[in-house]
Structure 1
Amino acid sequence: MSEQKKPGFIRRTFGFVWSLLTWLRTTTFNLLFLVIILAIIVSLSDEDTAVMPDSTALRIAPSGFLVDQRSYVDPMTQFLEQSSPEDAETLVRDLTTSLTRAAEDKRITALVLDLSNLYGGGISKLEEIGQALQTFKASGKQIYAVSDNYSQDQYYLASYADTIYLNPMGAVLLTGYGSYRNYFKSALDKLDMNFHVFRVGEYKDAVEPFLQDHMSDASREHNQLWLTDLWQTYHEQVEQQRGLTPDTLNDYINNLDQHMAANAGDSATLAKTKGLVDELASRHRINQHLREALGEDDNGGYDAIDYWDYLDFTDREQPQSADTIGLLIAKGAILDGQQPEGTIGGDTLAALIEDAREDSDIKALVIRVDSPGGSAFASEVIREQLNVTREAGIPIVVSMGSVAASGGYWIAMGADEVWATPTTITGSIGVFSAFPTVENTLGRLGISTDGVGTTKLAGALRIDRPLSPLASNVLQQSVDNIYQRFLTIVADARQSTPEQIHTVAQGRVWTGTAAQELGLVDNLGTLEDAIAAAAAKAELTDYQVEEVRKALTPGEQLLLELSGGMVSIGEKVSASWQLPAFWQQAIAPVQQQLQLLQQMNDPQGVYAQCLECAGVH
């Protein structure tokens, strides 16, 4: 019998590779299947064990930044990184809704505000939550505020509490409001770069950093006015809530070094001495106090239900109605085309408005605008869809959030009625365009540009060539034209004239209170006030509010469910590391400014945008 011939080296190699790939494929699918099973188990176990107590405190522990709409995070990224959007951003309406319901709910006995992981959100959003806290407080139930330290935004919410706890190693970090920017004129000169700017409006200062090395007198004047208004609102409301004498906070901040010296440098003792907090206590002692006041849970903590669980329970208890008020969130910079949530895509939001218009259950629309503006073209695409919807007989009310300026204000002109909070930043009616050229910079390196063209504009918009007078004139005329369009749009919507609007326009920024006095908005109030106004316009007494959102694909939905399950598993195993709230708040304005500059994509390069509005909290 002859021996069986052994496979050759190449055949054995390919066989090994194929076996390895088969093993990897099988292992990957088995692991994925295991992940799915674990996610389902966690989800089901949460649903099975969750029970609404007959008597408990409500715990509100916002994390990250307060927002009207969470920024879109790819479900695959969430799945791989085991991250959750809820860690970085907290929805304002979730907080206000839970507080309003809890105020009338006999099962809720008290409120604990755990503000340790709140990074900020701006005075306008804080005011809305503050009004809901006031409603809760009026029910006679106690409010406790807890944090190791209090940033300015954290302390605003804490001021509504009956008892504010502070760690003996902590501090109340108040600074007032400011708007500071980097200026690049000298740097551009050193690089020999030419930055060509085209704008309309004495106060349209978004492009000032490229033209000079300091803030202009006009910019300083109008920015100081609205910043002063915001700070006055902050310190007066906090002083009223805490029963402090007027200007206590200004004295605390402006003479902080002297006050610290009088308290041996102990910032926590200083805060208690000045009446900013009620009790200095360690984490263990705070937990002990809350257990004594609220009862003890099974894990040795105080007895409370988290607000997101409370919302889930109470959502199921809410009566259903056939009539619906659609809620559309317009948050972030306004960009052309399709964009994810967290930014405003002209085509994306226009499509959602159209979907809402074609939904027979939706009887009115509320547009929540929280935007410093952006593309003038995209802003008009959105406004046009709002006009079509109004012509179809559907009332539209705009609710302005922290910022509804420039392009954000442009959008608002498509509504029947415009609401703002007293501290909303709005106006900034003006436009600009900017075009850099680097021909001199390249010349230093020995690089030149030459060629031929068939017309005077051929190659005129290359950044490696000087900008010709013809191109400059065309760009400036385009900006002038769009500014006149903006004035006319506002004048028509506000029953005024372009000439009258021009006197309060020119890029000038106003608070909501000032804007109402000038006739730029109709009423002052919260998002809930705007929803009630929309219901009145549609003659609705029994209705539900439903957010109109871009639908996820089946694949995205599956990954989102999986990522949620995996995040829950991760939270049970270990806590994720985060930067302290103070540092998160400090770097946020820089991140926002860089992001805004990267997002400019208007087809004509003309922007109705308020860059200084975006980074102020």
Structure 2
Amino acid sequence: MKSFFKYVLATVTGIGIVVVILFIVLIGIVSSAINQLGSSSENLVSANSVLYISLNHMIPERTSTSPLDGLHVPGYGEMKSLGLNDILSRIAAAKEDDRIKGIYLNPTYVNTGMASLKQIREALLDFKKSGKFVVSYSDMYTQKAFYIASVADKIYINPEGSLEFKGLSASVTFLKEALDKLGVEMQVVKVGTYKSAVEPFLLNEMSSANREQMNSYLQSMYRALLTDISASRKISIDSLHQIADAYRIRNADDALRFKFVDGKLYKDELLTMLKKQLGVAEKKELSSISLLDYTGNGQTKTAGARIAVLYAVGDIVDGEGTDENVGGDRISRELRKLRRDDRVKAVVLRVNSPGGSALASDVIAREVALTKKAKPIVVSMGDYAASGGYYISALADSIFAEQETLTGSIGVFGLIPNFQDLLNTKLGIHIDEVQTGKFADLMSSPDRPLSEEERAIIQVEVNRVYQTFMGKVAEGRQMSMQNVDSIGQGRVWTGKQALELGLIDGVGGLQRAVAAAARKANLTEYRIVNYPTIKDPFSSLLGSSKEKIKAWVLEDELAEYRQYIDQLRTVARVSGVQARLPYTVEIR
């Protein structure tokens, strides 16, 4: 009877939680619908307005349509973000919008990669060509925030604020000692001197080869960052180096002394200044609209030739995948559709992926090659397009990346965990089995190490996949296999380095790739259509609300420790030969 009441109580509690969640979601949907019906940007934007941009939110490649985005969940705050695609398009729209007189930047923590950051910065520079002003103000600037802010005509800081400028650092999280304590041995078979994706499971620090490559691409990124800041703030690159190396900027006074900012102001003083600049009376409110709410006033073309932008974002996985990763079947199917669609005259494959399954990468690469025979296909690389991300790019007509993009990493590996010590010694669990062949349990028995013969078999397959990978690169980039191998071996390069090595064709963001695709298709007028089609809000709700709420809880409870959980979960999902970057590389 006690058990009966326990299960009844658990059921009732579960139903209650579901009802509460659905009620909250319903409120969010209704509020969103009302906002969309009655508060379009056309109605929200007044004449003589300022566009407010903070960027203090997650910046995915594309804006989500889930009704949970922007919803306030009790205890977890509001989760609202804008995709890179909409950030760029809205800044471009504001450039042409006569109601928008300037931009008020308010960045503090900019949560995106260096290549995406560069594209936003370029969009702001383009906005300034209109003659409109860009002013930046923040209580504190992180390095990424200051990099964005450096485009502004004037930069201001709170008198008691701080500005971070000390150079870039990159770190890798190593799990070997933790795995040793758990009794887990990670058995690795790989090709590539620099293929460092497996190092976190084998070592407690970087190998000399990995340290060499990380230092190389970090220095390349740093030079690009200093060059941009130097041009905007009129401070020599040598001076910037010295300031960072000596950590001379620690507070607002230091930032002003070294001309990183133009003044120290409190928020009310900044608003007063903006009112004067716009001719607004002191007692009146400054008219402004957030980039999150602004959609521009341009008309979207609905007919004519199309350039398709196909997004391949996240880990590359076998099968269908989800919206958060690159499913081999799903992306290859999209490429087939676009190849057969007569309205689509060219395809831009937008790749932002650290790689993943070598098999899924090959499936997608095959469709890229077939599409190339039918119509132009150009690759635009985001923050990452490495290993499997480069695999699916190599056969395109042209490849563009930002200087800060991490790419290359031409190499593969196999990862086979051995839980013998954990199961047998620590947990007292033993597995026994019978089999019909000598290798029937190859890579399926979790409680024993690989034999030398089994390891040799796997090594042969890993070598074969590497040869196939190099062959695709050699074909696509018109290189010899020897040349590919010399710049391969799993080594990671920045976009700037990749251009010098012939791995890409040019430096630039998505807009440049689209322009290149248009030229190849002989198009002067066209409209851009994004694929895969984003699910409608209700489908998104039914398919991902549980995952969204779990993600919120995980983010709130674990904060910076979440990366370690994600890393272990990635290991658990890995199967087959992998072509991927190191699991955790943080650049700050």
Out of 457, 461, 465, which is 1:478 matched to? 461
| Correspondence for 1:529 | 512
**Does residue 510 in structure 1 map to residue 481 in structure 2?**
no
2:204 to 194, 208, 213: 213
The reply to whether residue 90 of structure 1 matches residue 82 of structure 2 is yes
Q: What is the DSSP-based 3-state SS (H/G/I as helix, E as strand, rest coil) of the residue aligned with 1:169?
A: strand
Query: CA offset at residue 460 of structure 1?
Result: 3.6
Partner of 1:615: 586
Q: Summarize the alignment of residues 369-384 of structure 1 with structure 2, pairs less than 5 Å apart.
A: 369-384=351-366
Query: Match for residue 521 of structure 2?
Result: 538
| CA-to-aligned-CA distance 1:66-114 (integer Å, 9 cap, x gap) | 33224685x4687684899994543223233233343344443222112
1:123 alignment partner, one of 114, 117, 131: 114
Q: CA deviation at 1:352?
A: 2.1
Pairing 1:412–2:393 present: yes
| Match of residue 164 from structure 1 | 155
Provide Cα deviations, 1:156-203, integer angstroms capped at 9, x if missing partner: 111011111211221112232222223334444444433211000000
Q: 1:423 aligns with which of 394, 404, 408?
A: 404
Q: Is the Cα contact below 8 Å between 1:336 and 1:601 reproduced in 2?
A: no
Contact 1:63 1:86 (C-alpha < 8 Å) held by counterparts: no
Q: Contact 1:122/1:153 (CA < 8 Å) preserved in 2?
A: no
How far apart are 1:34 and its partner, in Å?
8.3
Could you tell me which residue of structure 2 aligns to residue 17 of structure 1? Answer: none
Hey, what's the Cα distance between the residues in 1 that align with 2:189 and 2:511?
Answer: 40
CA contact (8 A) 2:567 2:583 kept: no
Question: Could you say which residue in structure 1 is the equivalent of 2:230?
Answer: 239
The 5 A counterparts of 1:62-81 are: 62-70=55-63, 75=67, 81=73
Q: CA separation in 1, counterparts of 2:264 and 2:106?
A: 15
The CA deviation at 1:549 is 2.4
Q: Is the 8 A contact 2:62 2:85 kept in 1?
A: no
CA distance in 1, matches of 2:577, 2:20: 53
Q: Which residue number corresponds to residue 110 of structure 1? A: 102
Superposition pairs of residues 10-159 of structure 1, within 5 angstroms: 40-47=33-40, 50=43, 52-70=45-63, 75=67, 81=73, 87=79, 89-116=81-108, 118-159=109-150
- Paired with 2:506 and 2:287, the residues of 1 have a C-alpha distance of 41
| Residues 28 and 68, structure 2, Cα contact 8 Å, conserved in 1 | no
Aligned-partner residue type, residue 345 of structure 2: K
Cα distance in 2 for residues equivalent to 1:204 and 1:558: 39
Output the amino acid matched with 1:335. V
CA distance in 2, matches of 1:441, 1:27: 40
Match of 1:281 in 2: 265
Q: 1:599 to 1:447 in 2, by over 3 A?
A: closer
Secondary structure of the residue that 1:493 maps to in structure 2?
Answer: helix
User: How far does residue 49 in structure 1 lie from its aligned partner after superposition?
Assistant: 7.7
Paired with 2:195 and 2:316, the residues of 1 have a C-alpha distance of: 18
Distance 2:306 2:321 in 1: 26
In structure 1, what residue type is equivalent to 2:104? Answer: V
Structure 1 residues 186 and 57, CA gap change in structure 2 (3 angstroms):
closer
The Cα of 1:602 is off from its aligned counterpart by 7.6
Q: Secondary structure at the match of 1:66?
A: coil
2:339 aligned to which of 357, 364, 372: 357
RMSD of equivalent CA atoms: 3.7
Q: What does the per-residue CA deviation read over 1:539-592, in whole Å, with 9 as the maximum and x for residues that have no partner?
A: 1111011112235268427889x9xxxxxxxxxxxxxxx98xxx98xx3xx645
Q: What 5-or-longer segments of structure 1 have no aligned partner? A: 1-25, 261-265, 563-577
The Cα shift of 1:480 comes to 0.9
Give yes or no for contact 2:192–2:488 (8 Å, CA) kept in 1.
yes
What fraction of aligned residue pairs are identical, expressed as a percent?
A: 33
Q: Name which one, 1 or 2, has greater alpha-carbon Rg.
A: 1
Q: Distance in 1 between matches of 2:385 and 2:474?
A: 17
Task: Tell me whether 1:435 sits opposite 2:408 in the alignment.
Answer: no
* 1: CA distance, partners of 2:418 / 2:272: 65
Inter-CA distance 394–299: structure 2 relative to 1 (3 Å threshold): farther
Report the number of matched residues.
564
Q: Distance in 2 between matches of 1:318 and 1:556?
A: 25
Following TM superposition, by how much is the alpha carbon of 1:205 offset from its aligned partner in structure 2, in angstroms? 0.9
> Quick one: structure 1 residues 85 and 382, their matched pair in 2 at CA, closer, same or farther if it must change by over 3 Å?
farther
**What runs of 5+ residues in structure 2 fail to find an aligned partner?**
1-18, 546-554
Q: Distance in 2 between matches of 1:395 and 1:115?
A: 38
Q: Contact 1:403–1:614 (CA<8 Å) still a contact in 2?
A: no
Alignment-derived partner of residue 577 in structure 2: 606
Who is 1:226 aligned against?
217
Q: C-alpha separation between the residues in 2 aligned to 1:169 and 1:345?
A: 48
Whole-Å separation in 1 of the counterparts to 2:294 and 2:388: 37
For residues 332-343 of structure 1, the aligned pairs below 5 Å read 332-343=314-325
CA distance in 2, matches of 1:96, 1:31: 31
- TM-score where L is the length of structure 1: 0.82
CA distance, structure 2, for counterparts of residue 602 and residue 191 of structure 1? 19
Three-state SS of the structure 1 residue aligned to 2:227 is helix
Work out the CA distance in 1 between the residues paired with 2:173 and 2:209.
17
- Give the 3 Å change call, closer, same or farther, for CA 190–232 of structure 1 in structure 2: same
Mark the CA change 1:523 to 1:236 in structure 2 (over 3 Å): closer, same or farther. closer
Return the offset for 1:143: 1.1
> C-alpha deviations, 1:305-353, integer Å up to 9, x for none?
3335543422xx3555411101111111111222232321112222222
In structure 1, what is the Cα distance between the partners aligned to 2:283 and 2:540?
Answer: 34
Other structure's SS at 2:50 match: strand
Deviations 1:196-234 (A, max 9, x none): 110000000111122222211111111101100101111
